C-alpha cells in the first residue's frame, strides 16, 4: 500500500514563524485529519506555483487539531520559502495520508528528535501519549522553536550542540545504552546512524529522502536496507533501526 | 459524441493518454478505477532480464519546470514480471504495455520469449533502447540506426504482437533511427525518452549524481520533444506517440497537430495524479469549441 493518493484543496487556517526560518502552519483538511496516523506524511503543493516548483513537497504532520493538520516547516529552498510567503485563507493542495507510520507502543515510549525531526514525534506523542521527549538542536537561533515545542510538550529535555539552550550535547546524550523502552526517533541521518551504537531493544526511525512522486511509483526515494532497496515514501518513512543499512 | 479513441497500429485505445514507463507503480492503491478510467494504456516500468537494484546515490533532482532522474532501471526482472505482475495487472482492465529494456542480445531474446508466454495479456512491447541511466546497453542501441534495426529485427522474429520502439532524443539522426525501426518491423514509435542532463551540487562542489549524467524530463523538455515528433512523424508512416513534458490539454493537442497519434505522460503524473482526466477535459472543451468530433482528424494538421 502506498497510502491514499487523493489530492485535497485546502486552506491555510493559521501561520506563525517560530524562529527566523521555521514556519508553523495549519491547513484545514478534514479527510486527512480524521485518517492520518503518526509517522505518516502529506505531500503539499501551492496552486500558485504552476510548473515551478514542479513537484509536491513531503512534510510530516506534527499535530491534528479537529479538521486541521499542523506542520512544522524549515525553510531550506525554493518551495519552502514560497510557502512561508502564504497567508491565512490562501489555498494549498494536500495529498495524503502517505506512507506507513509508527506501530503503536506496548509500553511508555521515548521520543528522540533531532531539530525538525520533532514534527512527526509531536504527533506520535499526541496519539500514543506522553513519555520522555528528548530534543537536540544546533543551538543559537533555535530558542523560539524550542519555546514552541515546550508549550506543547512540557516534559521536553533539550540538548544543544553549542550549549546555548538546555544541556550541551546531542539528543543521544539523553539515552542509556541498551534502552528497553520503545524508542521513536526522527532527525538527521547521522543522528539515527549513531543510535545503532546505543543498541536499543526496540527503535523505529522515520527517514527522509528526496521524492519525486511520493506515491511509490518512481523509485526515486529508495534507501538501502537489509532486504535491499526500499522506498521511503511507500515502504516507509518509518523503518526499524536494525533494517536500515546506515553506511550505504 | 466526441470520439477520443485512437488506434496505435492494431492496438485500440479508449483514450490517447498513456502513462509513460517508470512513472506508475505496481502498488494496488494506484490501480483504482477512478484514476485509470481516462487512461488509454499503462507502460510498465523498464523490465530487464535479471532483477536490478538501480543506481546508488541521489536519484532525483528538481530543476525549474523539470526533473533529472537517475533511477537506473530498478526492477524485479522478467521472470517476476511474467509470473507475478502480469496476471495481477491484467485484472485491472487497462491495456498493459511491457517496456523491455535492451541491455544485450541474449537478454533481449530471453525476455521476449518469456513475454510470448503471456502474449494475450500484454497489449504491446515497448522496446526501450533509450534509457540514459545505465552503463550497459540500452541507449547505446537507440542512438544508432544500425543497432536499432538489429534490436527491432530480433524482437520481431519472436514477437508477433504489437511492437513499439521508444527512441532516444540523443540520437544524432532521429529520422534515420525512426526509419530503421519502421523498416525492421516496428508498429509505432515513442518519441522520446529523457534528455541527457546533469546537475552540480554547488555547496558540495561536486556532481549531484553518482553517474554524473541523468535523464531530464518534465515541462521544460516539451518544445524539444514536440520538435522531434514533428521531424520523426514526417519520416515514417507508422504511428508516433509523443512523449516529453506533456502536462496539459494544449500540450496534447500540439503533439497531435505535429503528427502524434497519442501521448505518454510521465513527470506530469507526479505533480497531478489526475492529469489524464484533466487533460481530456481540456481537450474535449477544445473539440467542442472547434466543432471537431474525432481527435484523429487533427493528427498532423499543423503540417498541412
Ligand atoms: C517523509 C518526509 C517528511 C518530512 N517532514 C518534514 C517536516 O516535517 N518538516 C520539514 O521542515 N521538512 C520535512 N521534510 C523535508 C522537506 O520535504 C524538504 O525540506 C523540502 O521538500 C524542501 O523543499 P524546498 O523546495 O524548500 O527545497 P529545494 O532544495 O528547493 O527542493 C528541491 C527538491 O528537493 C526535494 N528535497 C529537498 N530536500 C529534501 C529533503 N530533506 N527531504 C525530501 N525532499 C527534499 C524537494 O521536495 C524538491 O523536490 C520531510 C521529508 C520527507 C521525505
Ligand atoms: C522517475 C522516472 C523513471 C523513468 N523510468 C523509465 C523506465 O523505466 N523506462 C523508460 O522507458 N522510461 C523511463 N522514464 C522516462 C519516461 O517514461 C518518459 O519517457 C520521460 O520522462 C519523458 O516524459 P515526461 O517529460 O512526460 O516525463 C522515466 C522517467 C522518470 C521521470
Ligand atoms: S518518491 Fe517516487 S517512489 Fe518514493
**Residues near ligand 2 (Cβ within 6 A):** A 212, 218, 220; B 20-23, 45-46, 67, 69, 71, 73, 99, 128, 131, 166, 193-194, 217-218, 221, 243-246, 265-268
Instruction: Cell numbers for B28, please give them.
Output: 494496488
Residue A2: pLDDT band (50, 70, 90) is: very low
Please report the number of interchain residue pairs, chain A to chain B, with beta-carbon separation below 8 angstroms.
106
Q: Give CA–CA dist A98/B59, Å, rounded.
A: 20
Other C-beta atoms within 10 Å of B106: how many? 9
* Cα-Cα-Cα-Cα dihedral sign, residues A66, A72, A75, A80: negative
Task: Compute CA distances A19 → A88, A161, A165, A180, whole Å.
Answer: 18, 17, 14, 35
Residue B121 among the catalytic residues: no
Cβ pair A5:B273 closer than 8 A: yes
Q: What is the pLDDT of residue A3?
A: 60
Please judge whether A218 and B60 are an interchain contact, meaning their C-beta atoms are less than 8 angstroms apart: yes
CA separation for the pair A73, A54 (Å, rounded): 18
Query: Is the separation of the CB atoms in A119 and A62 below 8 Å?
Result: yes
Q: Is A4 left (phi over 0), alpha (psi -120 to 50) or beta?
A: beta
Dihedral sign computed on CA atoms, order A216, A218, A224, A226: positive
Concatenate the DSSP letters of all residues of chain B into one string: --B--EEETTEEESSSEEEPTTSS---GGG--HHHHTT-SEEEPPPB-SS-B----S--EEEETTEEEE-----B-HHHHIIIIIHHHHHTTTS-EEEEEEPS-HHHHHHHHHHHHHTTTT--EEEEE----S-SSSTHHHHT-HHHHHHHHHHHHHH--S-EEEE--TT-S-HHHHHHHHHHTT-SEEEE--PEEEE-EETTTTEESSTTSEEEEESGGGHHHHHHHHHHHHHH-SS-EEEESS--SHHHHHHHHHTT-SEEEE-THHHH-TTHHHHHHHHHHHHHHHHT--BGGGGTTGGG-
Characterize the bridge pairing of strands B124-128 and A228-231.
Answer: unpaired
CA of A118 to the centre of ligand 1 (A): 15
Give the per-residue pLDDT at B131. 82
Q: Residue B215: beta bridge partners?
A: B69, B196
User: Which residue in this structure is represented by grid cell 544500425?
Assistant: B146
**Residue range A63-74: mean pLDDT, rounded:** 98
By C-alpha distance, which of A208, A135, A119 is closest to A167? A135
CB-CB neighbors (< 8 A) of B59 in chain A: 210, 219-222
Q: What would the grid cell of residue A148 be?
A: 514552541
The label of the residue with cell 490562501 reads A90
d(CA B193, CA B131): 7
CB atoms A218 and B64 under 8 Å? no
Instruction: Tell me what the mean pLDDT of segment A33-37 comes to.
Output: 96
Cα within 13 Å of Cα(A173), Cβ side? 14
Q: Regarding beta strands A132-137 and A110-114, do their DSSP bridges make them parallel or antiparallel, or are they unpaired?
A: parallel
B24 contacts A222? CB cut-off 8 A: no
Q: Which residues of A126-136 are buried (b: 16+ CB within 10 A; e: fewer)?
A: bebeebbbbbb
Give the CA distances from residue B118 to residues A183, A226, B159, in Å, rounded to whole numbers and listed in that order.
48, 33, 11
pLDDT value at residue B221: 98
The pTM of this model reads 0.96
How far apart are alpha carbons A173 and A167 in whole angstroms? Answer: 9
Give the Å distances, CA to CA, from B217 to B64, B120, B269.
Answer: 11, 32, 12
* C-alpha pair distances (Å), B109 with each of B113, B143, B150, B186: 6, 20, 12, 16
Phi, psi of B19 (to 5 degrees): -85, 125
Check residue B195 and give its pLDDT.
Answer: 97
Q: Closest to A54 (Cβ–Cβ): which among B58, B74, B271?
A: B271
b/e per residue B76-95 (b: at least 16 CB within 10 A): bebeebbeebbeebbeeebb
Nearest-ligand number for the alpha carbon of B42: 2
Does any CB of chain B come closer than 8 Å to the CB of residue A170?
Answer: no
Q: Which residues pair with B284 in a beta bridge?
A: none
Which of these is catalytic: B43, B65, B121, B131? B131
- The pLDDT, as a whole number, for residue B139 is 80
Average pLDDT along chain B, 304 residues, taken 10 residues at a time = 91 97 93 94 97 95 97 96 95 96 92 97 95 78 92 96 97 96 98 97 96 97 98 98 98 98 98 95 97 95 92
Tell me the pLDDT tens digit for each residue of A101-118.
999 988 999 999 999 999
Question: Shortest CB distance from A54 goes to which of B58, B62, B71?
Answer: B62
Phi, psi of A229 (to 5 degrees): -75, 135
What is the band of A215 on the pLDDT scale with cuts at 50, 70, 90?
Answer: very high
Atom of ligand 3 nearest to the CA of A232: 4
Amino acid at each position: 500500500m502506498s497510502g491514499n493518493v487523493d489530492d485535497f484543496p485546502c486552506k491555510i487556517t493559521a501561520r506563525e514563524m517560530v524562529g527566523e526560518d521555521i514556519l508553523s502552519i495549519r491547513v484545514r483538511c478534514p479527510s486527512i485529519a480524521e485518517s492520518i496516523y503518526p509517522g505518516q506524511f502529506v505531500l503539499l503543493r501551492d496552486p500558485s506555483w504552476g510548473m515551478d516548483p514542479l513537484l509536491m513537497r513531503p512534510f510530516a504532520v506534527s499535530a491534528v487539531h479537529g479538521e486541521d493538520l499542523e506542520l512544522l516547516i524549515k525553510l531550506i529552498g525554493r518551495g519552502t520559502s514560497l510557502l512561508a510567503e502564504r497567508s491565512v485563507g490562501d489555498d494549498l493542495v494536500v495529498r495524503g495520508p502517505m506512507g506507513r507510520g509508527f506501530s503503536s507502543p506496548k509500553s511508555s515510549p521515548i521520543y528522540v528528535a533531532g531539530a525538525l525531526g520533532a514534527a512527526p514525534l509531536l504527533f506520535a506523542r499526541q496519539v500514543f501519549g506522553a513519555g520522555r521527549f528528548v530534543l537536540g538542536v544546533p543551538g543559537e537561533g533555535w530558542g523560539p522553536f524550542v519555546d514552541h515545542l515546550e508549550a506543547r510538550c512540557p516534559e521536553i529535555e533539550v540538548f544543544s550542540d553549542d550549549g546555548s539552550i538546555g544541556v550541551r550535547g546531542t539528543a543521544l546524550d539523553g539515552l542509556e545504552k541498551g534502552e528497553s523502552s520503545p524508542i521513536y526517533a526522527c532527525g538527521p541521518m547521522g543522528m539515527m546512524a549513531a543510535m545503532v551504537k546505543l543498541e536499543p531493544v526496540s527503535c523505529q526511525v522515520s527517514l527522509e529522502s528526496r521524492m519525486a512522486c511520493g506515491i511509490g511509483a518512481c523509485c526515486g526515494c529508495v534507501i538501502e536496507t537489509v532486504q535491499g532497496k526500499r522506498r521511503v515514501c511507500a515502504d516507509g518513512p518509518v523503518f526499524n533501526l536494525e533494517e536500515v543499512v546506515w553506511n550505504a | 459524441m466526441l470520439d477520443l479513441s485512437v488506434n496505435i497500429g492494431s492496438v485500440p485505445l479508449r483514450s490517447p493518454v498513456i502513462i509513460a514507463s517508470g512513472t506508475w507503480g505496481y502498488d494496488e492503491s494506484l490501480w483504482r478505477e477512478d484514476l485509470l478510467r481516462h487512461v488509454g494504456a499503462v507502460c510498465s516500468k523498464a523490465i530487464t532480464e535479471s532483477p536490478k537494484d538501480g543506481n546508488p546515490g541521489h536519484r532525483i533532482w528538481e530543476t525549474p519546470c523539470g526533473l533529472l532522474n537517475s533511477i537506473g532501471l530498478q526492477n524485479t526482472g522478467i521472470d517476476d514480471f511474467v509470473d507475478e505482475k502480469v496476471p495481477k495487472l491484467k485484472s485491472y482492465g487497462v491495456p498493459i504495455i511491457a517496456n523491455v529494456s535492451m541491455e544485450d542480445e541474449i537478454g533481449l531474446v530471453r525476455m521476449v520469449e518469456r513475454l510470448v508466454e503471456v502474449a494475450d495479456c500484454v497489449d504491446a512491447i515497448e522496446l526501450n533502447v533509450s534509457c540514459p541511466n545505465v552503463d550497459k546497453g540500452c541507449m547505446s542501441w537507440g542512438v544508432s540506426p544500425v543497432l536499432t534495426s538489429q534490436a527491432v529485427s530480433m524482437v520481431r522474429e519472436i514477437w508477433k504482437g504489437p511492437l513499439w520502439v521508444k527512441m532516444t532524443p540523443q540520437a544524432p539522426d532521429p529520422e534515420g533511427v525512426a526509419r530503421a525501426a519502421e523498416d525492421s518491423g516496428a508498429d509505432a514509435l515513442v518519441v522520446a525518452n529523457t534528455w541527457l542532463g546533469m546537475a552540480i551540487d554547488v555547496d558540495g562542489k561536486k556532481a549531484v549524481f553518482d553517474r554524473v549524467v541523468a535523464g531530464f524530463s518534465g515541462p521544460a523538455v516539451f518544445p524539444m520533444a514536440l520538435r522531434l515528433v514533428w521531424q520523426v512523424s514526417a519520416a515514417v508512416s507508422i504511428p508516433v506517440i509523443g512523449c516529453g513534458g506533456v502536462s496539459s490539454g494544449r500540450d496534447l493537442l500540439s503533439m497531435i497537430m505535429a503528427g502524434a497519434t497519442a501521448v505518454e505522460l510521465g513527470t506530469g503524473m507526479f505533480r497531478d495524479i489526475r492529469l489524464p482526466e484533466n487533460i481530456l477535459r481540456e481537450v474535449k472543451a477544445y473539440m467542442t469549441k472547434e466543432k471537431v468530433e474525432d481527435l484523429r482528424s487533427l493528427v498532423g494538421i499543423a503540417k498541412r
